[in-house]
Structure formats: structure tokens, C-alpha cells
Chains A and B, each alone.
Chain A
Amino acid sequence: MLLRHTPQETIERKALTINPAKTCQPIGAMYAALGIHNCLPHSHGSQGCCSYHRSTLTRHFKEPAMASTSSFTEGSSVFGGQANLVEAINNIFTVYNPDVIAVHTTCLSETIGDDLTQMAQKAKDEGYVPAGKKVIYASTPSYVGSHVTGYANMVRGMVDLLAVSTTAKKLDQINVIPGFVEPSDMAEIKRIAELFGKKVIMYPDTSNVLNSPMTGKFKMYPKGGAKTEDIALSGDSKVTLALGRFATGIGAKLLDTKHKVPCELLDLPIGLAATDRYVEMLKKYSGQSVPESLMEERGQLVDMITDMHQYFYGKKVALAGDPDQLVALTEFLISIDMKPVHIVTGTPGNKFERRIKELTENLPYKVNYTVPSDLFTLHQWIKNESVDLIIGNTYTKYIARDEDIPSIRFGFPILDRVGHQYFPMAGYKGAMRLLEKILTCLLDKQDKDAPEEKFELVM
């Protein structure tokens, strides 16, 4: 057994996290910053942070994940990181020539109290920021929240330092802020929005950055990413659709308070109902009817659900992941009569707990969730009440193997399967892909385990 020391009996833990269902803020900030065109994310801390984040992003996407570091030593940790950051900014613009440097902090620079606003100004005053280039930044202490919080903070930094409002009257354009999802999902979310015929400003946008094509030529700044001039324009939009409140809420709200762009905080459009709500908002704010092509996609999804409902019905599922994804997944699974009985995230937050409560309190079965939690607890819950399927990141495969439960990869990080970069789970088509994965997994298991006389040809 790979997790041979995990006992069935649970004891309360107050201090020790075992097998976390989250990681730290800076990696989320780095990922978000890669969603700006011609931007180099910069980690203000020890080299190890940057190295770990780049490695994890690279393993997940199988793509270059470019970012630089302030390379703190003991001296900088004592005297502050200003000299390192100012030198880094000069070196980055000279050697790597990005349009934007997106700096995020780490537990190290936060603990010593480095002030990024002042340091970025200092770099500018000393002439290290060429005309037209920008340094944006976000405070992302690793000891608060999780990678989702880091993503949210960097999105907020984009709004704060790149968005402007130029007209009193808002323009007929729609902002979309996607949560911490795959580049494939971001492209799908944008595609759906653009079907309504209005200008859509979406950021971050990591599509074509972290799923770029093989051309035989390395491009430090790939074709994709939200353009800074578009992000600037987002202050003039008539609405912001924020998809996933944990990853996008604070950015969207800042657009409202700073530039009077009202926001709609929505769930991630994963699954039927959440996608319906996204589409309804697009319909409302574009003033257009829902395009026929999108109706067809929706119809296909419903068709798939009705065709295969018998295989979903009553199946128990254990879920691990990030709050925005878990909210959407829980709602979707319940809607097709699956039973999400164990739900785990490492990201702290009362709002998440409340939302899961709302979604599950009237169900005729008990749903386990405590926030925050870890995969060790999830495993113990499974030992006490087994499930038919596990949905989570790659680390859940250790539980799946020990307990002989089928599992599908969903969330971050996925270190051992491909496809997530290219094929979305968001939107109607994405939901179909999710269902296909669930079905393949469950039916493969049935095929493998069925007695010979019960082995089915047609399913």
C-alpha cells in the first residue's frame, strides 16, 4: 500500500497538515501573470520559490513557464530586498525585454515587510523602467490563503495597475475574468462570450501561452495572453462577469469601486446549470438572444445526460480541489443524480463552506466537508464510506490505487496526464467532456469487474 499508514480512525488534528489539498499564493500569482501578453512574472523572494513554481507549472502544462526571481540571500533577508528587486527590474528589461514585469511577493519578502509600491517607484525613478513598459505587483504572502488567493491577488494587481477609465459613459463591451482554470477553459469561456457579438475583454488569458504550438522556434512571450491595452480598456466596460468568486472576486470588485464597472460574481461555468447562468448573463448584458449554435451545444449536453443517466444515478463521488471548481462540480454532480459524499479543499474560507452547505443540506444523504482540510482526511473518509469515483488532482491517485477506486484528473496540479491544456471542461462542450471522462472511468471499471455472464456489449 502506498499510503499504508493512513488509519481508518480519524483523530482531530490542529497543527499538522498531511497531504495538502492546496499550495501557496505565489504560484497562483505566477500563473495569472502568464496570462498577460509579453509579461514576465517575477518572484520576489528566494530562488527556491520561483524554481518550485516554474517546475510545477511546467510539469502540469508540459510547456515553458518563464519567470524570474529576486534571488534573495541571507543579506537581503536581513537588509530588505529593495536592492535585489531594483537590480532585477533593470536586468529583466535589458535582457528579456518584456512589456510588463508582474512582481509577486513570497513569505520571505512579506515577513521582512518589503513594500513593493515603493520599490517599483524606486526602479522607475532610477530610470530602469523604459518608456511604455510597466511594473505591476501584488502582495501574495504564502502564509495566507492558497494558490487560489495568489491568483486572485494578481488579478487584483492587474486591475489596480493596468485598468483605467477614460469615459464617463461605459462602452458596449463586456469584461470576463476567468478563475484559476486551464488555458483551454479560458479559450472556451472567451469563445462562448464572443458568440454574443460584443467586444469581450478577458484577463488573465493563458491560452496560447501555456498550450502553445510546436513551431521549431522558442518564443519567450508566446502569441497568447491578454494585451495590456485591452486590460487598460476594461475600466470602460459596462459589466464584469467574474467566474469563480474565490479567484476573481476581489479583482472584479476593484473594477467596480475604482472604475464604476459593476460586476456579476458567478460560479465557474462548469456543468449545465453554472454554464446556463453564465450564458444568461451574456444574454442580458449583450442584449442579444442566445445563438443557435450554443443552444445546440446545450442540447447535446442534455442529450448525453439523458442517454446515460442510469450510469450516473446514485454513484458516490469523492472530490478534492479548489473552492470555485468544487462548488461548480458539486452542483453539476447533484444535478445528474450522482452523490458527492466527500468534498475537500485546502483553501480556507467560510464562504465556501456556506456555499457547499446550501448545495447539499437538503440532500437525503450526509455530505462530509470541513474547511480547510487535506487529502489525508479525504482518504480517511473514504475508508469509512467508500465511493465509486474520485475526482481530483494527480495526488489523489495514491488513494485511488490503494482503495481500488476509479479516478479522473481534475484541477491543479495534473502531473501525469495530458489533455487538460487543450480540451476544456468549461461550458457545455466542456461538461460533455467531463461526462465522457466520468463514464469511461465507470464503464471501464464495470467491464473489468463484471462476471463473464454479466459482461455487456452495449452500454
Chain B
Amino acid sequence: MNQNTTISPEEIKDELLRSYPAKVAKKRAKQIIINSVDKATDEVPEIMANVRTIPGILTMRGCSYAGCRGVVLGPTRDILQITHGPIGCGFYAWLTRRNQTKPATDKDENFMTYSMSTDMTENEIIFGGEKKLKAAIEEAISIFHPKAIGIFATCPVGLIGDDIHAVAREMESLHPEVNIFGFSCEGYRGVSQSAGHHVANNKVFTDVVGLNDTVKEGKYKINLLGEYNIGGDAFELDRIFEKCGITVVSTFSGNSTYDDFTRAHTADLNLVMCHRSINYLAEMMEKKYGLPWFKVNFIGAYDTAKSLRKIGEYFGDKELKDKIEKVIAEEMIVVEEIKKDVTTRTTGKTAMLFVGGSRAHHYQELFKEMGMKTISAGYEFAHRDDYEGRKVLPTVKIDADSRNIEELKVSADPEKFKERKKASELDSLKANKNMEMNDYIGMMPEMDENTLIIDDLNHHEAEVLIEKYKPDIFCAGIKEKYVVQKSGVPVKQLHSYDYSGPYAGFVGAVNFYKEIDRMVNSKVWKYVKAPWEKETQLAATYACD
């Protein structure tokens, strides 16, 4: 395929903006940035992000409910989840995110295969839905006997004034054995899924984490935050941690349980995978319970190794460090073997990634390992810090849409706060730039000069990019998949992995190498032109000659 990487990014940007009404063009111009990195300071240009999508412009984005119910809480199996609203929202969030889960025994609870909804009708819209919600909770308790129930608000709930939190309190007083809590994740809150992540983090923090002080056995205890076990990623990471002798107290929230959440504060370190969706919880847990956190990336074999070494460095224990090195050495044998083979066919190919609030960054590592080049990338719902790094946080403007999401005031818990590291030890860890303690460098500093960084990419822009750059692979979600593939460019879905995976960890890297090799070298795209169409072209060429 043509690798049109020599086109000037300025020209492309002009082309992207050309057909817009003036007001749209003005806004989009600030969300389309030509990358340049100051190597000394990691300074990058400012990008506008986490702002409203323009009405009528075909966006990839979803809503707050999707971010809360779907992304953050969806993957946990034994919190019974009731969507309070008309039927659609509950229906669409039903198993569609491929969060795998594996209860320990046949008897253990797993509610993920159930979609529960109050199926609000006109009557509740007019007279209020609290009564039906209470009855629904009663019915759920009598059938399922859950230990916890989450209530998720949809758009009309907030508008008609149903107080899901009051209902939760009332029902909990009737059923003290069940922890009942509500999420105000109405779809109109915020500007994307991102608002819902924040709502979810807040509630899980205030109502679940810290309820159980039972400490899990293990010398090196961690929580893995922002890993949702799509395609079994968390299973692969659990395998690696176990091999290294690292104990996972809780994953937020892939393959997770309510009980694990309740004692997450007893771990000694929080690892943050998806910074966008879960950084709030990491920060709040540090303030309240004293768990330090740092950013990890288990996408890509080398980044997996790097992240494991960071854990070794944090605990500072030679035994652990040696074990980690041994595991890396063992695991890399297969990785290197497969990589050597596939890179003969993938080197020099180009990729574009427009997805999520972290994945568009993480997956660039895998492509790099395969010798492929990322020529343009952007997030669907990230904020400036995910692009430019957390150092810009003090300068991020809080607009009306962000203000609608509660920012919890958190202080140290007088009983449960425990210092994990002495201040001096933390300082020296923080001084080590590679550790990224309480930090995230962001996507842009790690991308090439002159690559196009585009926030909230829309359909029109995607079409222009495909036409101009003709990438060998495009990474996005289900809505974009067949749009792009109709143009003859294969799409790897990075939300659902196209129903394969895992892609995290060492096994995941190998899976990804093989999958991308299959996709960028597939012969199926050559069948688009019929033999006689090719003959006509050839004949025409001869005639011209």
C-alpha cells in the first residue's frame, strides 16, 4: 500500500477543516495538532480536549452512563447492577464489552450475564420512578440475594427528579446485609464517557473500598487499576504477577469481585493502566489510605517488562527484582521468536489509532515492536493530561460540563491511613523519571514530530485521513470498523479486539503480532477488483501507451 507519510501535516489539517462551517472549523482547529516535542522538557503544543462534541458531527463518543455502567462497573461480576430508566440503556450495556470473568467455583456469584432494568414507562416519567425502583430492588434481592447492588441513572432519571441515592439508603436500611449504592451517571452529564468514569470512581471509593480490612496473604501486594479484562487481558496479567510472586489484591475492574474491592486499601501499591478512566481512584486512595501509585503499561512485551521492573524498583527488594528478571527472560524467548518472524512482514507498515482514553497511546508500543509506524493518533474521550502529560493539570480549564461532576474532598483516614514509604523514599522514587510516580507523561511526548494528533476524531476527518495517508491498519471501534474497511483498509477494534485476545502481557503481545501480521498482509483485500476489472485497467494502460 502507498505510504504517504511525506504529505505535509499542515496541508492535511487544512483539508480536514475545509468543508466545515466557520464555527466548526474554528473549534476543530484547536483539537487537531501537529505534534512537536521539546526533547529536553517533553513540552508539546497544547491540544483542546474533553470539550463538547459539536451537534450533528458524527462522533465516536458515547455517554456518561456508558463510561460508568459499561466501562468501569460492567466488568465486575457480583455487584448486581440495575439500570434505572427506559429499557434501551440496560439492553445495550448487556455483555457487549467482552469483559471476561471467571468465578472461582460453579457456585460463586456471576451476574454479568444478566441485564436488569426498571424498564421505565410513561407512567414513571410522569409520576416518578422511585416506587418502581424500590420494587425492582426488592425483587432482585428476593431472586438473587446479592451482597451489593449498584443503581445506574439514565437521562430521564435526573430530569424527573428521582433520587436514586435516597432510594439506595432506604432500601439498604430494609436490607442491611446488602450494600446498595447509586451512580448519577445520566447520559447528558459531561461531554463523553469520561464523566461516567469519574462518577463510577467516586462511588466505588466512598461506598465500597475500605469496608474490609482483611489483609490478603502475600509479600508484594498491589491493585491493578484501569484493566478491564477485555479478551482475557487481566487473566494474562494475573498469570504474570503470580509467576513473579506479586499478589493482586484487586483489579479495577476486570474479573473482579465486590469483596476484592472492599479490601483494596490493604494493598501497598496501585498500578494505573488506563489513566483516563481510573486516575481519580488512585489519587483518592493515596490521600485516604496512603497507597502510592504509578502508571504502568502492559500493552507490548517491552512495556510489560518495563512495568514489571518498576514494581521491582518500588518494592526495592532484590529477591523480587531477580524473580522479575527471570520471568522476563523466560517469557521473552517466545516473544522474540515470533517477533523476529512477523517483523519481516510488518516492518515499515503504518498505523493510525483513534480510540479510548489510553489505548491509542498504549498500542503504539506494540506497533513499534513490530517495526510499524504510527502516523496519526488521538483519543475519543481523553483530557489534556492524557495527551500532554499530568504536568499540565494545573493549567487545565474547568468548564461548566466538568463542574457538573463532583470532585470529592479526600483526607487521610485517621485509622486506616498507612504510610507505605517514608517521605525520603518516595522522594527518591519520584526523582526517578522512569518511575512516573503519581505521573503520566502523556501520549504526545512519545509520538513522532509532525504526526497529527486529533482529539474526538469524527467521521469526515477519518475519511480524509484514510484517503490521504492510506494507512496499512486503522484502530478504532465497532462504529468505525466497516466504514474504514469499505475503503479497503483493515480495522483492528481496540475496544473489543474483534473478539480475540488477550493482547496484554507477553502472551498478548504474541497474539497481537500474529493478528496484525494476518491483517496487514492479508490477501483478501486483493479480491475487491474482479479479474475482468483488472484486465480493463491493464488494457486502458496499453491503449494509452
Give the chain B neighbours of A249 by CB distance below 8 A: none
For the complex, give the distance between the alpha carbons of A20 and B89 in Å. 11
Give the chain B neighbours of A3 by CB distance below 8 A: 113-114
Closest to B21 in A: A94
For the complex, give the distance between the alpha carbons of A309 and B491 in Å. 46
Give the chain A neighbours of B486 by CB distance below 8 A: 64, 212, 214-219
Interface segment, one of A46-54, A186-194, A278-286, A320-328: A46-54
For the complex, give the distance between the alpha carbons of A214 and B485 in Å. 9
For the complex, give the distance between the alpha carbons of A397 and B528 in Å. 34
Query: Can you show 24 pairs from A to B with CB atoms below 8 A apart?
Result: A2-B113, A5-B110, A15-B118, A15-B139, A18-B116, A24-B91, A52-B62, A52-B88, A55-B92, A63-B482, A64-B483, A69-B55, A72-B187, A74-B401, A74-B404, A96-B459, A107-B154, A108-B187, A112-B159, A143-B121, A215-B528, A218-B463, A218-B466, A218-B486
Interface string of B471-484 (1 = CB under 8 A from A): 00000011101111
Give the chain A neighbours of B124 by CB distance below 8 A: 143
- Interface membership of B94, Cβ < 8 A: yes
Whether the pair A106, B155 counts as a contact (CB closer than 8 A) is yes
Q: Contact check: which of B132, B404, B487 meets A216 at CB < 8 Å?
A: B487
Give the chain A neighbours of B114 by CB distance below 8 A: 3, 5, 18-19, 376
Whether the pair B62, A47 counts as a contact (CB closer than 8 A) is yes
Whether the pair B88, A27 counts as a contact (CB closer than 8 A) is yes
Give the chain A neighbours of B404 by CB distance below 8 A: 74
- Interface membership of B115, Cβ < 8 A: yes
**A432 shortest CB reach to chain B, Å:** 29
Give the chain B neighbours of A90 by CB distance below 8 A: 21, 56
Whether the pair A52, B117 counts as a contact (CB closer than 8 A) is no
- Interface membership of A88, Cβ < 8 A: yes
- Interface membership of B297, Cβ < 8 A: no
Interface string of B38-60 (1 = CB under 8 A from A): 00000000000000111111111
Report which residue of B55, B117, B160 has the largest number of chain A beta carbons within 10 angstroms of its beta carbon.
Answer: B55
Interface string of B1-40 (1 = CB under 8 A from A): 0000000000000000001110010000000000000000
For the complex, give the distance between the alpha carbons of A206 and B120 in Å. 30
Interface string of B385-408 (1 = CB under 8 A from A): 000000000000000110010000
Q: Contact check: which of B132, B156, B481 meets A107 at CB < 8 Å?
A: B156
10 shortest interchain CB distances as A-B pairs: A48-B63, A24-B88, A88-B56, A91-B56, A15-B135, A46-B187, A142-B86, A52-B92, A88-B55, A108-B155
- Interface membership of B424, Cβ < 8 A: no
- Interface membership of A66, Cβ < 8 A: yes
Given known A-B contacts A64-B483, A91-B56, A143-B120, A51 and B529 have beta carbons under 8 A apart: no
Give the chain A neighbours of B509 by CB distance below 8 A: none
Given known A-B contacts A17-B119, A23-B91, A27-B88, A96 and B61 have beta carbons under 8 A apart: no
Report which residue of B88, B135, B143, B482 has the largest number of chain A beta carbons within 10 angstroms of its beta carbon.
Answer: B88
Whether the pair A66, B155 counts as a contact (CB closer than 8 A) is no
Give the chain B neighbours of A237 by CB distance below 8 A: none
- Interface membership of B465, Cβ < 8 A: no
Interface segment, one of A6-14, A363-371, A449-457: A6-14
Could you list 13 further interchain pairs (A-B, Cβ under 8 angstroms) beyond the known A5-B111, A91-B20? Answer: A16-B136, A19-B94, A19-B114, A52-B88, A52-B89, A56-B92, A73-B191, A77-B188, A90-B21, A96-B459, A141-B125, A214-B486, A217-B486
Tell me the count of chain B residues lying within 8 A, CB to CB, of chain A. 89
- Interface membership of B371, Cβ < 8 A: no
Report which residue of B21, B156, B190 has the largest number of chain A beta carbons within 10 angstroms of its beta carbon.
Answer: B156
- Interface membership of A311, Cβ < 8 A: no
**B359 shortest CB reach to chain A, Å:** 17
Q: Contact check: which of A1, A15, A142 meets B136 at CB < 8 Å?
A: A15
- Interface membership of B90, Cβ < 8 A: yes
- Interface membership of A4, Cβ < 8 A: yes
Give the chain A neighbours of B21 by CB distance below 8 A: 90-91, 94-95
- Interface membership of A75, Cβ < 8 A: yes
Whether the pair B110, A45 counts as a contact (CB closer than 8 A) is no
- Interface membership of A156, Cβ < 8 A: no
Give the chain B neighbours of A429 by CB distance below 8 A: none
For the complex, give the distance between the alpha carbons of A212 and B117 in Å. 35
Q: Which residues of chain A from 379 to 398 have any CB-CB distance to chain B below 8 Å in the complex? A: 395, 398
**B301 shortest CB reach to chain A, Å:** 31
Report which residue of B54, B58, B62, B485 has the largest number of chain A beta carbons within 10 angstroms of its beta carbon.
Answer: B58
Q: Contact check: which of B135, B154, B478 meets A58 at CB < 8 Å?
A: B478
Whether the pair B56, A45 counts as a contact (CB closer than 8 A) is no
Whether the pair A71, B20 counts as a contact (CB closer than 8 A) is no
Tell me the count of chain A residues lying within 8 A, CB to CB, of chain B. 84
Whether the pair B66, A15 counts as a contact (CB closer than 8 A) is no
Whether the pair A71, B54 counts as a contact (CB closer than 8 A) is yes
**B496 shortest CB reach to chain A, Å:** 9
- Interface membership of A275, Cβ < 8 A: no
Give the chain B neighbours of A142 by CB distance below 8 A: 85-88
Closest to B66 in A: A48
For the complex, give the distance between the alpha carbons of A141 and B154 in Å. 14
Whether the pair A23, B88 counts as a contact (CB closer than 8 A) is yes
Given known A-B contacts A74-B189, A142-B86, A217-B487, A66 and B58 have beta carbons under 8 A apart: yes
Give the chain A neighbours of B528 by CB distance below 8 A: 214-216
Binding site for A on B (CB under 8 A): 19-21, 24, 52-66, 82, 85-92, 94, 96, 106, 109-111, 113-122, 124-125, 132-136, 138-140, 142-144, 154-156, 158-160, 187-192, 400-401, 404, 459-460, 463, 466, 477-479, 481-488, 528-529
Given known A-B contacts A52-B88, A144-B121, A17 and B59 have beta carbons under 8 A apart: no
- Interface membership of A111, Cβ < 8 A: yes
- Interface membership of A433, Cβ < 8 A: no
Given known A-B contacts A70-B56, A87-B56, A24 and B82 have beta carbons under 8 A apart: no
For the complex, give the distance between the alpha carbons of A221 and B252 in Å. 42
Whether the pair B139, A68 counts as a contact (CB closer than 8 A) is no
Whether the pair A69, B59 counts as a contact (CB closer than 8 A) is yes
Whether the pair B125, A111 counts as a contact (CB closer than 8 A) is yes
Whether the pair B55, A22 counts as a contact (CB closer than 8 A) is no
**A72 shortest CB reach to chain B, Å:** 5
For the complex, give the distance between the alpha carbons of A88 and B54 in Å. 8
Closest to B187 in A: A46
Q: Contact check: which of A16, A59, A84, A376 meets B55 at CB < 8 Å?
A: A84
- Interface membership of A245, Cβ < 8 A: no
**A29 shortest CB reach to chain B, Å:** 12
Q: Contact check: which of A54, A106, A107 meets B479 at CB < 8 Å?
A: A54
Whether the pair A47, B61 counts as a contact (CB closer than 8 A) is yes
Whether the pair A144, B122 counts as a contact (CB closer than 8 A) is yes
Give the chain B neighbours of A23 by CB distance below 8 A: 87-88, 91-92
Whether the pair A70, B55 counts as a contact (CB closer than 8 A) is yes
Give the chain B neighbours of A102 by CB distance below 8 A: none
Whether the pair B479, A65 counts as a contact (CB closer than 8 A) is yes
Whether the pair A20, B61 counts as a contact (CB closer than 8 A) is no
For the complex, give the distance between the alpha carbons of A147 and B121 in Å. 14
For the complex, give the distance between the alpha carbons of A53 and B187 in Å. 14
Whether the pair B188, A51 counts as a contact (CB closer than 8 A) is no
Give the chain B neighbours of A122 by CB distance below 8 A: none
- Interface membership of A89, Cβ < 8 A: yes
**A447 shortest CB reach to chain B, Å:** 28
Whether the pair A5, B56 counts as a contact (CB closer than 8 A) is no
Interface string of A125-143 (1 = CB under 8 A from B): 0000000000000000111
Closest to A372 in B: B119
Whether the pair A95, B115 counts as a contact (CB closer than 8 A) is no
Q: Contact check: which of A56, A85, A216 meets B488 at CB < 8 Å?
A: A216
For the complex, give the distance between the alpha carbons of A63 and B133 in Å. 37
Give the chain B neighbours of A110 by CB distance below 8 A: 125
Whether the pair B61, A5 counts as a contact (CB closer than 8 A) is no
- Interface membership of A37, Cβ < 8 A: no
- Interface membership of A200, Cβ < 8 A: no
**A350 shortest CB reach to chain B, Å:** 15
- Interface membership of A26, Cβ < 8 A: yes
Whether the pair A46, B156 counts as a contact (CB closer than 8 A) is no
Report which residue of B90, B92, B94 has the largest number of chain A beta carbons within 10 angstroms of its beta carbon.
Answer: B92
For the complex, give the distance between the alpha carbons of A69 and B53 in Å. 10
